[in-house]
Amino acid sequence: MNDTLLDIKDLEVQYVVDGEITRAVNGINLKLKKGEVLGLVGETGAGKTTTALAIMGLIPNPPGKVTKGNINFTNSENMKIDICNVNNKALLDIRGSKISMIFQDPMTSLNPVMSIGDQIKEGVEIHQPEVNAKERAKEMLELVGIPKERFNEYPHQFSGGMKQRIIIAIALACTPELLIADEPTTALDVTIQAQVLDMMKDLKIKFNTAMLMITHDLGVIAKTCDNVAIMYAGEIIEYGTLRDVYKNTQHPYTMGLFNSIPSIDKVEKRLKPIKGLTPDATNLPSGCKFHPRCEFAREACREIAPKEYNLNETHYTKCLKVEGCNEYKESRVIDDE
């Protein structure tokens, strides 16, 4: 028995707009076990959402295309599917029933002219026609803390936090094995964030759902995840357990991320943000993609693309400095040109 639920191998996704290639995801490898919560962190434009859409088989085509790699999904009935290479019919069957997704903005993710009850019902009607969809929908509503009497109300009658809970109810109505949460709390204020996260955690345990938590909020990750993957310019540059990444941070970019948030027990006059901007995905730098912004960058970083370097069984990073290879040691520090 294999308890790997999702196995992404060397995934590459590109968007072609007006002949210009945007390299959104560049060869990522990810494994997700059953019931595991993986956090995917990165700046805007790092390819987090594209990865999520690829797992759903929802990359808009055109302009997007999975150019390389595969996404193997194994469910509890040991059905193996490569999401990148199946027909549309099979994808429709998986979406919503095996893999669900929660979208970023609860305000726009609900159909304004359909009652919320009907919207929760929809997925059940599609995937589990034998179940009494109305009863299930009411159960789900109660589960996310909304009285079932409000079944027939419309989205505009709910607050943002409640809408997000309704969306979670929709996503979990068919008890999927994998839940992709694309910045589920970004649009909510902090107190509601905590509520929603707590609830997701409870439900995750109740249904034993694996979760891919996409966010740029390191606090959210610390609160919910088992493992963390840090994404930069379409690559995973550091991966490990929560402890590995938070206590034993290796990659300069990850350090930069931690330096840009205020710490409660350190007195700091100024935060140290990472200088520069995320690289343009149509024109990625050579070698290590982070080198133009990295304070430790040397000339070797321009030429050699770092490989995954394992620090221990669970923790790897992509950095020449951490790797400590000779090329890095021998090359000069980049002078500002």
Partner 1 sequence: MIKKDKKDATSKTYRGPWAELWHRLKKNRLSMLSLFILAGFMVISIISFIAVETSIGQKIFEGTVFDYQNVVGQNLKRTLEMPSSDHLLGTDSFGRDTLARLVYGARISITIGLSSVFTSVLIGGSIGALVGYVGGRVDNIIMRMMDVFLAIPSILLAIAIVSSLGSALPFLILAIAIPSIPGFARITRAAVMTIREQEFIEAANAIGASNIRIVLKHIIPNSMAPLIIQSTLSIAGAILSTAGLSFIGLGVKPPMSEWGNMLSEGKNFITTDPFFSLITGLTIVVVILSLNILGDGLRDALDPKLKN
Nearer to partner 1, 115 or 259 (CB): 115
Of the candidate spans 3-11, 167-175, 235-243, 261-269, the one that interacts with partner 1 by CB under 8 A turns out to be: 167-175
Burial (CB count within 10 angstroms: exposed 0-12, middle 13-18, buried 19+), residue 2: exposed
23 binds partner 1 (CB under 8 A): no
Q: Which of 26, 50, 75, 100 binds partner 1 (CB under 8 A)?
A: 100
Q: How far apart are CA 42 and CA 252, in angstroms?
A: 13
Binding of partner 1 at residue 122 (CB under 8 A)? yes
Instruction: State which residue, 108 or 326, has the beta carbon closest to partner 1.
Output: 108
Q: What residues contact 74, with CB distance under 8 A and at least 6 apart?
A: 2, 4, 5, 6, 7, 80, 81
* 92 in contact with partner 1 (CB under 8 A): yes
Identified binder of partner 1 from the candidate list 112, 190, 191, 270, rule CB under 8 A? 112
Please pick, from the candidates 23, 136, 138, 165, the single residue that binds partner 1 as defined by CB under 8 A. 165
Give the shortest CB-236-to-partner 1 separation in angstroms: 23
Please tell me the number of Cα atoms within 13 Å of 220 on its side-chain side.
Answer: 29
Judged by CB under 8 A, the residue of 41, 101, 245, 322 near partner 1 is 101
Q: How far is the CB of 79 from partner 1 (least distance, A)?
A: 16
Q: Which of 56, 133, 212, 288 contacts partner 1 by CB under 8 A?
A: 56
As given in the structure block, the two tokens for residue 195 are 């509520």
Whose CA is closest to 70, among 57, 83, 56, 88?
83
Rg of the chain over Cα atoms, rounded to whole angstroms, equals 21
Q: Does residue number 81 form part of the binding site for partner 1 (CB under 8 A)?
A: no
Judged by CB under 8 A, the number of residues near partner 1 is: 47
Q: Which one of 100-108, 271-279, 299-307, 309-317 is the stretch in contact with partner 1 (CB under 8 A)? A: 100-108
Beta bridge partners of 82: 72
Question: What does the alpha-carbon distance between residue 71 and residue 6 come to, in Å, rounded to a whole number?
Answer: 7
Alpha-carbon span 310 to 9, nearest angstrom: 17
Q: Please give the DSSP secondary-structure letter assigned to residue 251.
A: S
Q: For residue 233, report the phi and psi dihedrals to the nearest 5 degrees.
A: 50, 45
Determine the Cα–Cα distance for residues 287 and 301; give it in Å rounded to an integer: 6
Footprint on this chain of partner 1 (rule: CB under 8 A): 56, 58, 91-97, 100-101, 103-105, 108-115, 122-123, 126-127, 142, 144-147, 149-150, 152-154, 157, 162, 165, 167, 170-171, 174, 195, 198-199, 202
